[in-house]
Structure 1
Amino acid sequence: MDSAIWPPFEPIIDAQDVFAHYHQKLQDLPRLVPRLFVPVLENKPQNPIMESLKLEAANTSLPKRPFVPPKLPEELAALAFDALKPPRRNPEDAQRSIQQFWMEAATRKLGVRSGILSWDRLRRTHTDKAVPTVFLSEQEELVYSSARYHGMESILSVNHRELLLSLKSTVLGISSQFHVWDSISERFAQVGTLGNGKRGVLLLDGKDDVISASLISRFVTIGTLTRRLELLLSSLRTRSAREGPTIHALAHSLSTTLNFIREILSSCPPTVDEVASTTDALPLSAIWTHYAANEELLVALAELYGRDYGLRPDEYNVLESSPVPLLSRIYDHLARHFERQSPPIIRATIAYILKNASQGYIQQVAHSIGFGGQPTYKPVKKERKDQYEFEEEEEEEEDLLDLLDTIETSFPSFFPLKLLQALPAAQKSLVLFRIAQPDHPLLRSPTAKASVRWLWTEEEILAAWNGCILPEEPIAHSSAAPPPSPSAVPELSIFKLFNLEPGTKAIDVQDSSSSTLRKFVDMFPSSLPPITPTLAELASLTFKDLMQHASTLSSTLLSLFIGSPGKLNFRSHLILLRSYLLLAAPSFKSRLLNALFSDAGEYEVDITPHSMSLRLLRRHPGKRPKEKEGKQPWAVGLSPNLLERETWPPVGADLSFFLRTVIVDSLDQGKETEDGTFEREDVVEEAEWRLGFAIRDLPTGAGKDKWLDPLSIEALDFLYMDYKPPHPLEILISPEILAKYQRMFTFLLRLQRVECALKSLFRMSTHRAIAKFLFPTLAQSRKLLLHFRFVAQAFVSSLSGYVFDTAIGGNFDPFLARLSVNVSSTSSSEPNDRDDGFSDVFELAQCHSALLDDILSACLLRSGQRGVGDILRHALELVLEFTIVVGELHRGRIEEYQAAPLVEELFNKFCTKMTTLTKVLKGLVDKSPSSSKLSLEAYFGGRRRSTGGLDALYHLLVRIDLTDWWSKSTKTA
């Protein structure tokens, strides 16, 4: 067992002994000597001549070696001995003849200047005038062809006339006498070599295989590409109609192109009569050169359709069904040939394909913006979830948004950049236009006959450049029927067809599409005119009218929204949103404060049933029964009417009715007319039902239920204002933009709550009529109370002034002024080239959203400002908690010795938060590249510039820390 676990013991060997042992073994090995050894010359004078003579004498005395001639192949023996073939029966005679053959070859040396002999020179019939070389490729044609002929497997020799007659069919894509179509590789192969794996060769008379293959390859390439394009045409014609008309227009263009190419190939030399004639020699090189242009054209077309000659069928590029990538592919291919300066026939053919394939799509795009016709929209309706839901207006709004989402925003690459930017806005503008003002003259028929077409000739380009009427395009007739006789009645002449006998050829149908292409190719310019030197400039001129109509449509809709005096006036809606959702209207703000907040310096609870009703408030204004001793804590700053049910949030019909009256009573009465009545704007008139308060469900759970506590600063977060813009103005006042307004409304309610709480604190601590003497025995605590009250009031008032004046007013007022500039520019019927103008309603919507983003950023309410925003919110929370502690002390629910440490702790926390807030604001201001640090009010071009988002933080820093009081030293109690 031990031997299995432990290895056997080995004695320790000395390293010196090991080295000596291996050294001895190395000494026993044989010595390595070089294979090539040159002996060292003796140290005596050398005599090379004598050494050479001694070596020659030694070689002469050597015995002669027997001559062993090599065995000759049969074909060499046939050439060498001619008719005298060495007999195989007697080996000695054969050996003697072969030896004599080699000796004669060495002594003859016919036409040989070198010592190397080939088997061809060994024959006796070899001429003395032969080229003195050993290379077969430099021998005469017969010799070289014979040598190459011996190594080929499948050979077919033809003359020029037979081959050219066969190739005339091959170039048209038809199997011929010598070439057949291989459906697997989709190529023409030589007859007899298809499928057997052999290499077939067609040999022309007097030409080797290389020259023959080079001459035939051009014709085979043309036939292969023609047949591949025919197969592609067949597949295009079988595509479904769901893929759109563009793919079928492309198939028609390809069919016309193939017919045109076949006509060209049919007319190419040689004709059938020339081939049949035996008198004239056919100019093979001239015929081969004549087909070069046709090959180049077919190569370009095959490259366009992804059917290159070098590709296998499984490597073909699939043509896209969508018109955008398909037309972009054709245009990009045409642009490359313009850059390469390809022959005019190639550029003209591809331009013809682009013109025909894109005609329907361009017309569809033009109709989508009302140019040359009006688009047809399919109604998009959503299923009703409730069978009793009859709000048709909401369904229309959803249908409008869905319809705008379905509008195509991608276009082919030949559309100019400005048109690509204007088309989506113009398409959506037309949808809005048809809803906002369907009877507008722009939507009627002034442009019903307008159309967009490609401009290729110089005459068309100059007419479009000068704004003249374009020349009419040539119309291709698909059939040519004999004109009716003058005596025939026009109404009945069409029935003449039915009077013919069966089998009679009624109409001679002639396909003139190829003639149209031929005429297009003949009229196509060899180079673009100097007005449009590039293809991109030509496309810009082609779509100039479409671009002008798109701009006109967008600007007209924009002027309708910002310049019309009706309910679609966007500026009036902005003023309404600012007045109510941003608390800018004094009447609404005062009524809302009276409904939701209270600055009374004494705790009170209204115990009257339905005390929030409007009728009771009007009957007993300012007189409410009060119960001074309540069980619940005093939510300082909130209206006691919200706490009468002792539940939070105070939802109910009374609250809804009361808040509804706040909106109705605060609306502007309008201007007084001559008959004594008041007339309000349409926007204000409809604001009674477009504006409204709503309650939202907020999340609950750990850290998310502060809105359920009336003592928290988030107590009123469940309440928000909703606004329903008129149809179709929801594009400018979208749900996303309204959500930003509502975030600001929630923040303003928090700020107003803290302001009212501070006012209550001032009443508790200064008004002798309703206040008690706080901290009567703790003088230091009373000083801290007064100091804390002053600091908190300075901070909250500075923040409130900054929010309403700088964050809201500093951004909203320049935006309204910018709208006024657009109104004046559109009313003057001049193009709006100002930098502060809007191009369309969608840019206006983006600017409206950016306006709210700047306001939220200025108030530190963006998601990316969560850290500094939490610091600001915590500072406001500390102020509110301070007022609640003082309120509880004022009510007598806590003693002054209990309130003193609480006030001191809150003051220390507040100072820490303020110090941190000022440091963070300074960091943000220092990072901002804005120049707003230099002045509180910035002006640009004689107008007030927007304070912006982060740029406005400098104003906040100046308001709360003008003398660096918070940042210089740490404040403690």
Structure 2
Amino acid sequence: MWNTGDFDYDFSSPFEVPLVNLPQFLPHFSIPTLENKPQNPIMDTLKLEKMNAEMPKRHFQPELLPPELALLTLDTDRLAEEENSRTRIEELWNSAVHRKLGVQNGILAWDRLRSTHSKRASSTAYLSEQDPLVSASARNYVQPRFFHPSDSLLYVTQHQLFRSLKIVVLGFSSPYHVWDPLQERFVQANTGEDGSRGFILVDGKDETVSNSVIARFLKIGTLLRRLESLLSSLRARPAKEGPTIHAFAHSLSTIIDYLRQGLTTCPPNEDELTSDKADLRLLSIWTKYAMYEEFLVALADLCDRSESLSPASYPSLDSSPIPLLSHIYEHLNYHYEHNSSSNICAIIAFLLANTSQEYLQDTASSVGFNGKQRRKQKKSEEKQNGQYDFDIDEEEEEEDIVDLLDEVDDSFPDFFPEKVVQALPAAQKSLLLYQIAQPDSPYLTSDSKNQSMRWLWTTEDILASWNSLPPGDSDSKPLLSSSVPNSLHTGATLYQPALSGFQLYDLEPGVAISNASLQVKDDSHSILCSFINDFPVSLPPIVPTLSELMSLTFKDLLDHASTVSISLLSLFVSAPGILNFHSHLILLRSYLLVASPAFKSRLLSALFSDAGEYGVDATAHSMTIQSLRRRPGKKIKEGKQPWAVGLSPHLLERETWPPVGADLSFFLRTVIVDSLDPAKETDSGKVEREQVVAEAEWRLGFAIRDLPTGSGRNKWLDPLCMSALDFLYMDYKPPRPLEILIPPEVLSKYQRMFTFILRLFRVESSLKSLFRMSTHRAVATYLFPTLTPSRKLLLHFRFIAQTFVSSLSGYVFDTAIGGNFDPFLARLSGNSSAPDSPNVNGRGFSDVFDLAQRHSALLDDVLSACLLRSGQRGVGDLLRQCLELVLEFTVVVGELHRERLQEYQAAALVEDLFRKFTVKTTTLIKVLKGLVEKSSPSTALTSETYPGHTRRPTGGVDALYHLLTRLDLTDWWSKFGRR
């Protein structure tokens, strides 16, 4: 055990022994190689025991004791005389065997030979469970610490240590530990300079145990001081950053005060520290602070002020409400998932509840949940202040409704349930629309505050909310409360209950100082204690997770938001008047989709002509005032331009295109006014129009659009082309609230359909003119009188073109428009019982914005059915080219009819056009078949009704099967193409 060799080394000098001079470590034993034969362990063991029993006993030769121990145990004189006597040392150990000294374990160690060894009996054989001085001295001897000149060792007693640590845990510097502002942590005093390190050793404890005990107290003090530094920086932030970050700072301050008060009451108390006889149980005291260490570690992680971070790597705390609240909820959810202590969950829940209070109230107010919504009162305030400018047009001051709705924020903290995230933006926008559509709505004028957002943390509140019972006392009490006695009320000013605290300022100076009841009381500590005591250890079974608890917390808000959205939807769908969306849809369909027979006939009369002769009509329906002033019987001068077959001759009278002018505008205006539904007699006997129809005179109108010019883009400048009327479109100005249902994007889709319908009318009118020109009246009027094959081809081409155009026209109005619009209008009117229409008031729509999306999707289906979508450009161009070839065919025949072309010239042109038309049509049929087979594997007609025998929309691409059936029912186009 002891090294008795002669080795003298100065430990104060640097270690410079060369490696070559170090002794070699050689093995002191060897294992013989096993023989290559079967082993018999039992017999080998018996032989070994026999050999050991027959061996002579060894002579006991104890090692010499070190001189310092011999001085303590033996007589100095006798030791000097018998220094080399092994007999004396053997007697010493033998006496130690017989002298138990009250010890029961029987361990023989040199430490038991000292006179100061404890005489108390010890029932354990472990050295670490012996007396602290014994354990510390043994560990220090077996594992001596390395000596370094810069190390500073400080030996203290437990009373001295705890007197210092009680100050450190509160975040203050003590005689042994001071605060380092650069590292933001507590370090040992008088260390750190020139790389010096400090070590505190408690009497009876070694370095490892001492550091382990002190580390918890230093960690608590460091985290507490870091949180206070963060709190100081939060309080210094300006007020413009919002109330959320300041509510967070106030809640954090309350929690820090709560923890500091708890740390103050932890053992040891002042009496135990001042009494030297008090037994300070180190492990018991050290365990008492474990709870506060967990609290501060959780708070430090939440605030990004962990002990492992350096001040330079602190993340900045975002003051915006959404990321801040999401960050707090993320940590709360983490502790719930990892089954942390209920007190830790309670503290973070308290932090979340108080920090989010203002944000939740603003969110609830944005949908009118807890009283009147805060609206913009800019104009009313200007009127009250006398700053209203009467020269400014109020319509110009109105903010665009789309921009107004775009200002609504659709981002929310992470703890908002998914259904609430989807419903709140719609409800907020619906309430903004209510301000425009119905300013006297109860959602805007109600001041009732019976409903409010409140957190559900206790089991009683959770069960009450689950069973839809009235809640108990709210746990979200104000942190600062003040009361004014009734005896001191001045009576000069009456305050509302919410402002009763301001009565304090009406009192005389000095009254509040003498009256203790007027002092402002800080109840934050008691509120936090009550919150922690009432906080459940685990969530109830009805809400086993935190996300389920959030869904229950926001249930009332979700119901109210859904009610607001459905109420506005009912206002637009069911209520009569100017805001009835069904009436506006009928108007849009009648005019922009030319579904009204009266408007269609007047529009055809104004823009198109099916006359078989070229000339200008001089009747009262003429386009220009000049034609009205023409004398009867005066011969009309024939123009030099080619005959634009199908167009009204009045549009070509001035031989300029496009015919833009006041005459065109006036005549088209009369087309709209004359085609409006006449007034009807009401139940009261009055004759009046529906309000939507009455205002249509100025909401509907024709307009001229600016079209591009250039190579390949100037066909609208040629009256012979099918796109000659593309410059003309219809515009509609819906009421301001209905702009959300009829936005400019949807109106542009209506206008694209209107342009397509004008092109179709142009081709239909030209074909009617062709029939009039080619009808047999006299032999002299035959077209191609000398070329019989060309005349037969003309008649055949006329029949095929007429069949193609009439089938396409019937498909557009009956299937593409009627097949999609009729079910949608029936659904709005409440006559639909489709399976996706469970809501009677909302007609199956969740809110106004869902209705707007369905309306846009309806127009997308109509455009898709007419091959007008951008993704259908290829097949749409085939259809347009087929119609253009038909129009060119009628123009050629018109020029032949006017005798501006010779028969042989016209015959070649007709043959070429017929060949091109057959090729294009055959290709169109093949492409349509491919689209139909791709969209539906079955070639059979799909069911056009729901199970309740209600009509369903034909859809977009699905409707192409109807077009294919109309154009090629018997595959005759395919056979014709093969011929």
Same fold? TM cut 0.5? yes
CA deviation vs aligned residue, 1:55-75 (integer Å, no higher than 9, x gap): xxxxxxxxxxxxxx9873136
* Match of residue 588 from structure 2: 577
The 1:885–1:76 alpha-carbon spacing in structure 2 relative to 1, beyond 3 Å, is closer
Asked whether the 8 Å contact 1:380–1:402 carries over to 2, the reply is no
* Match of residue 43 from structure 2: none
How far 1:940 moved relative to its partner?
Answer: 4.5
* Match of residue 804 from structure 1: 813
How far 1:393 moved relative to its partner?
Answer: 3.5
The 1:749–1:936 alpha-carbon spacing in structure 2 relative to 1, beyond 3 Å, is farther
Asked whether the 8 Å contact 2:826–2:832 carries over to 1, the reply is no
| Counterpart residue type for residue 965 of structure 2 | V
Cα distance in structure 2, aligned partners of 1:545 and 1:770? 86
Cα distance in structure 2, aligned partners of 1:835 and 1:676? 33
* Match of residue 654 from structure 2: 645
Asked whether the 8 Å contact 2:372–2:446 carries over to 1, the reply is no
CA deviation vs aligned residue, 1:674-706 (integer Å, no higher than 9, x gap): 898632100000000000000010011111111
* Match of residue 264 from structure 1: 262
How far 1:589 moved relative to its partner?
Answer: 0.3
* Match of residue 160 from structure 2: 162
| Counterpart residue type for residue 573 of structure 1 | H
Residue 914 (str. 1) matches residue 921 (str. 2): yes
The 1:925–1:479 alpha-carbon spacing in structure 2 relative to 1, beyond 3 Å, is closer
Residue 568 (str. 1) matches residue 582 (str. 2): no
* Match of residue 731 from structure 1: 740
* Match of residue 847 from structure 1: 854
How far 1:673 moved relative to its partner?
Answer: 5.0
How far 1:860 moved relative to its partner?
Answer: 0.5
CA deviation vs aligned residue, 1:631-659 (integer Å, no higher than 9, x gap): 00000110000011111100000000000
Residue 759 (str. 1) matches residue 764 (str. 2): no
Cα distance in structure 1, aligned partners of 2:335 and 2:945? 55
Equivalent of 1:520 in 514, 531, 538:
531
Cα distance in structure 2, aligned partners of 1:343 and 1:636? 88
5+ residue gaps, structure 1, are 1-68, 78-106, 114-122, 382-386
The 1:874–1:770 alpha-carbon spacing in structure 2 relative to 1, beyond 3 Å, is farther
Cα distance in structure 2, aligned partners of 1:936 and 1:261? 71
Cα distance in structure 2, aligned partners of 1:249 and 1:519? 19
The 1:380–1:854 alpha-carbon spacing in structure 2 relative to 1, beyond 3 Å, is farther
The 1:952–1:488 alpha-carbon spacing in structure 2 relative to 1, beyond 3 Å, is closer
Percent identical among aligned pairs is 61
How far 1:130 moved relative to its partner?
Answer: 5.1
Residue aligned with 1:155, SS: strand
Superposition pairs of residues 34-45 of structure 1, within 5 angstroms: none
Cα distance in structure 1, aligned partners of 2:541 and 2:144? 61
Asked whether the 8 Å contact 2:136–2:205 carries over to 1, the reply is no
The 1:539–1:168 alpha-carbon spacing in structure 2 relative to 1, beyond 3 Å, is same
Cα distance in structure 2, aligned partners of 1:653 and 1:690? 19
Residue aligned with 1:181, SS: strand
Equivalent of 1:286 in 284, 287, 309:
284
CA deviation vs aligned residue, 1:924-948 (integer Å, no higher than 9, x gap): 1111037684347444432111000
Residue 962 (str. 1) matches residue 962 (str. 2): no
Residue aligned with 2:201, SS: strand
* Match of residue 225 from structure 2: 227
Asked whether the 8 Å contact 2:811–2:962 carries over to 1, the reply is yes
Cα distance in structure 1, aligned partners of 2:136 and 2:210? 19
How far 1:415 moved relative to its partner?
Answer: 1.4
Asked whether the 8 Å contact 1:764–1:770 carries over to 2, the reply is no
Cα distance in structure 1, aligned partners of 2:366 and 2:866? 42
How far 1:512 moved relative to its partner?
Answer: 2.4
| Counterpart residue type for residue 561 of structure 1 | F
Residue 819 (str. 1) matches residue 828 (str. 2): yes
How far 1:465 moved relative to its partner?
Answer: 2.1
Asked whether the 8 Å contact 1:380–1:399 carries over to 2, the reply is no
Asked whether the 8 Å contact 2:373–2:444 carries over to 1, the reply is no
The 1:483–1:674 alpha-carbon spacing in structure 2 relative to 1, beyond 3 Å, is closer
The 1:560–1:476 alpha-carbon spacing in structure 2 relative to 1, beyond 3 Å, is closer
Asked whether the 8 Å contact 1:607–1:627 carries over to 2, the reply is no
Residue aligned with 1:728, SS: helix
Cα distance in structure 2, aligned partners of 1:301 and 1:697? 64
CA deviation vs aligned residue, 1:525-579 (integer Å, no higher than 9, x gap): 1111222222122212211211111111111111111111101100000000000
Equivalent of 1:768 in 773, 777, 798:
777
* Match of residue 384 from structure 1: none
* Match of residue 553 from structure 1: 564
Cα distance in structure 2, aligned partners of 1:773 and 1:752? 27
Asked whether the 8 Å contact 1:233–1:251 carries over to 2, the reply is yes
CA deviation vs aligned residue, 1:189-231 (integer Å, no higher than 9, x gap): 1112234323321111122222111111111111111111111
Cα distance in structure 2, aligned partners of 1:929 and 1:651? 47
Which deviates further from its counterpart, 418-427 or 576-585?
A: 418-427
Cα distance in structure 1, aligned partners of 2:228 and 2:731? 64
Cα distance in structure 1, aligned partners of 2:910 and 2:480? 101
- TM-score normalised by structure 1 residue count: 0.81
* Match of residue 72 from structure 1: 8
Residue 632 (str. 1) matches residue 568 (str. 2): no
* Match of residue 598 from structure 1: 609
| Counterpart residue type for residue 871 of structure 1 | L
* Match of residue 188 from structure 1: 186
Asked whether the 8 Å contact 1:821–1:837 carries over to 2, the reply is no
How far 1:476 moved relative to its partner?
Answer: 5.6
* Match of residue 352 from structure 1: 350
* Match of residue 422 from structure 1: 423
How far 1:345 moved relative to its partner?
Answer: 0.7
Asked whether the 8 Å contact 1:180–1:190 carries over to 2, the reply is yes
* Match of residue 865 from structure 2: 858
Asked whether the 8 Å contact 2:202–2:210 carries over to 1, the reply is yes
Asked whether the 8 Å contact 1:636–1:760 carries over to 2, the reply is yes
Cα distance in structure 1, aligned partners of 2:943 and 2:625? 44
How far 1:630 moved relative to its partner?
Answer: 2.2
Cα distance in structure 2, aligned partners of 1:359 and 1:876? 66
Over the aligned positions, Cα root-mean-square deviation in angstroms equals: 3.6
Which deviates further from its counterpart, 443-452 or 932-941?
A: 932-941
Cα distance in structure 2, aligned partners of 1:624 and 1:441? 70
| Counterpart residue type for residue 639 of structure 1 | S
Equivalent of 2:789 in 765, 780, 786:
780
Residue aligned with 2:769, SS: helix
Q: Paired residues, what number? A: 851
Residue aligned with 2:240, SS: helix
Cα distance in structure 2, aligned partners of 1:906 and 1:846? 43
Residue 700 (str. 1) matches residue 709 (str. 2): yes
Superposition pairs of residues 613-692 of structure 1, within 5 angstroms: 613=624, 627=636, 629-673=638-682, 678-692=687-701
The 1:366–1:624 alpha-carbon spacing in structure 2 relative to 1, beyond 3 Å, is farther
Residue 588 (str. 1) matches residue 588 (str. 2): no
* Match of residue 82 from structure 1: none
Asked whether the 8 Å contact 1:111–1:130 carries over to 2, the reply is no
Cα distance in structure 2, aligned partners of 1:487 and 1:629? 103
Residue 748 (str. 1) matches residue 795 (str. 2): no
Superposition pairs of residues 872-891 of structure 1, within 5 angstroms: 872-891=879-898
Asked whether the 8 Å contact 2:699–2:734 carries over to 1, the reply is yes
Cα distance in structure 1, aligned partners of 2:64 and 2:889? 124
| Counterpart residue type for residue 166 of structure 2 | K
Residue 410 (str. 1) matches residue 346 (str. 2): no
| Counterpart residue type for residue 955 of structure 2 | G
How far 1:361 moved relative to its partner?
Answer: 0.6
Cα distance in structure 1, aligned partners of 2:732 and 2:902? 48
Residue aligned with 1:248, SS: helix
Cα distance in structure 2, aligned partners of 1:494 and 1:394? 45
The 1:606–1:488 alpha-carbon spacing in structure 2 relative to 1, beyond 3 Å, is closer
Cα distance in structure 2, aligned partners of 1:579 and 1:488? 70
* Match of residue 341 from structure 2: 343
Cα distance in structure 2, aligned partners of 1:852 and 1:704? 26
Asked whether the 8 Å contact 2:367–2:428 carries over to 1, the reply is yes
Cα distance in structure 1, aligned partners of 2:142 and 2:728? 102
Which deviates further from its counterpart, 270-279 or 356-365?
A: 270-279
Superposition pairs of residues 490-529 of structure 1, within 5 angstroms: 498-499=509-510, 510-529=521-540
